[in-house]
Amino acid sequence: MNVFWKVFTSLIQREIRLAIRHGADSMMVVMFFVLVVVLFPLGVGPEPGILTRISAGVIWVAALLSAMLSMDRLFQTDFEDGSLDLLILTPQPLELLVLAKTIAHWLTTGLPLIIISPLLALLLNMETSGYGVLLAALALGTPTLSLIGTIGAALILGARRSGFLLSLLILPLFIPTLIFGVSAVDAALIDLPSKPQLLVLGGLLLASFALCPWASAAALRQAAE
Amino acid sequence: MFNYFANPTRFLRLTSKLQPIAMVVTLITMGAGLYYSLFQSPPDYQQSETVRMMYVHVPAAWMAMFCYVALAASSAVVLIWRHMVADIVAKSTAPIGACFTFLALATGSLWGKPMWGTWWVWDARLTSVLILFFLYLGYMVLYNAFDEPTRGARAAAILAIVGVINVPIIKFSVDWWNTLHQPASVVKMDGPAIHSSMLTPLLLMAVGYTAFYFWVLFIRSRAELSAYKVRALRIRQAEG
The arithmetic mean of pLDDT across residues A46-74, rounded, is 89
Contacts with B16 (C-beta within 8 Å, 6 or more apart), sequence order: B222
Quote the CA–CA distance of B204 and B200 in Å, as a whole number.
6
Whether complex ipTM tops 0.85? no
| Predicted local distance difference test score (pLDDT) of residue B2 | 63
The arithmetic mean of pLDDT across residues B43-65, rounded, is 86
Look at chain B and count its residues.
Answer: 240
Percent of chain A whose predicted confidence (pLDDT) is above 70: 99
The CA angle A152-B70-B36, to the nearest 5 degrees, is: 130
Strand, coil or helix: A190: coil
Query: A71 pLDDT exceeds 90?
Result: no
- Chain B hits for A173, CB-CB cut-off 8 Å, are 131, 162-163
Indicate the domain borders of chain B: 53-180+196-239
| Predicted local distance difference test score (pLDDT) of residue B50 | 80
Average pLDDT of the residues of chain A: 90
Percent of chain B whose predicted confidence (pLDDT) is above 70: 95
pLDDT in tens, A99-110: 999 999 999 989
| Predicted local distance difference test score (pLDDT) of residue A12 | 92
Could you list the residue range(s) of the whole structural domain that residue A69 is in? 2-224
Count of domains for chain A: 1
Determine contact: B146 vs chain A, CB below 8 A. yes
The residue among A201, A206, A149 whose CA lies nearest residue A174 is: A149
Q: Element (H or E) spanning A39, and its range? A: helix A24-44
Written in H, E and C, the secondary structure of chain B is CHHHHCCHHHHHHHHHHHHHHHHHHHHHHHHHHHHHHHHHCCCECCCEHHHHHHHHHHHHHHHHHHHHHHHHHHHHHHHHHCCHHHHHHHHHHHHHHHHHHHHHHHHHHHHHHHHHCCCCCCCHHHHHHHHHHHHHHHHHHHHCCCCCHHHHHHHHHHHHHHHCCHHHHHHHHHHHCCCCCCCCCCCCCCCCCCCHHHHHHHHHHHHHHHHHHHHHHHHHHHHHHHHHHHHHHHHHHHHC
Query: A142 pLDDT exceeds 90?
Result: yes
| Predicted local distance difference test score (pLDDT) of residue A1 | 65
- Is A173 close to B163, i.e. CB distance below 8 A? yes
- Is A218 close to B131, i.e. CB distance below 8 A? no
The CA angle B116-B117-B120, to the nearest 5 degrees, is: 75
Q: Element (H or E) spanning A20, and its range? A: helix A2-22
Determine contact: A178 vs chain B, CB below 8 A. no
Determine contact: B163 vs chain A, CB below 8 A. yes
pLDDT in tens, B176-229: 776 778 777 776 666 677 778 888 889 999 999 999 999 999 999 999 999 888
Quote the CA–CA distance of A176 and A118 in Å, as a whole number.
23
Determine contact: A172 vs chain B, CB below 8 A. yes
Quote the CA–CA distance of A113 and A131 in Å, as a whole number.
14
DSSP string, A198-225: HHHHHHHHHHHHHHHHHHHHHHHHHHH-
Determine contact: B73 vs chain A, CB below 8 A. no
Strand-pairing partners, residue B48, are B44
Query: A174 pLDDT exceeds 80?
Result: yes
Question: pLDDT band at residue A77, thresholds of 50, 70 and 90?
Answer: confident
| Predicted local distance difference test score (pLDDT) of residue B89 | 93
Query: B38 pLDDT exceeds 80?
Result: yes
Strand, coil or helix: A160: coil
Query: B29 pLDDT exceeds 90?
Result: yes
Do the beta carbons of residue A166 and residue A156 sit within 8 Å?
yes
Cβ–Cβ contacts within 10 Å for residue A138, how many? 25
- Is A173 close to B142, i.e. CB distance below 8 A? no
Quote the CA–CA distance of A90 and A105 in Å, as a whole number.
20
Question: How near does any CA of chain A get to the CA of B129, in Å?
Answer: 11
Strand-pairing partners, residue B44, are B48
Query: A113 pLDDT exceeds 90?
Result: yes
- Is A172 close to B158, i.e. CB distance below 8 A? no
Query: B114 pLDDT exceeds 90?
Result: no
| Predicted local distance difference test score (pLDDT) of residue A150 | 94
| Predicted local distance difference test score (pLDDT) of residue B1 | 58
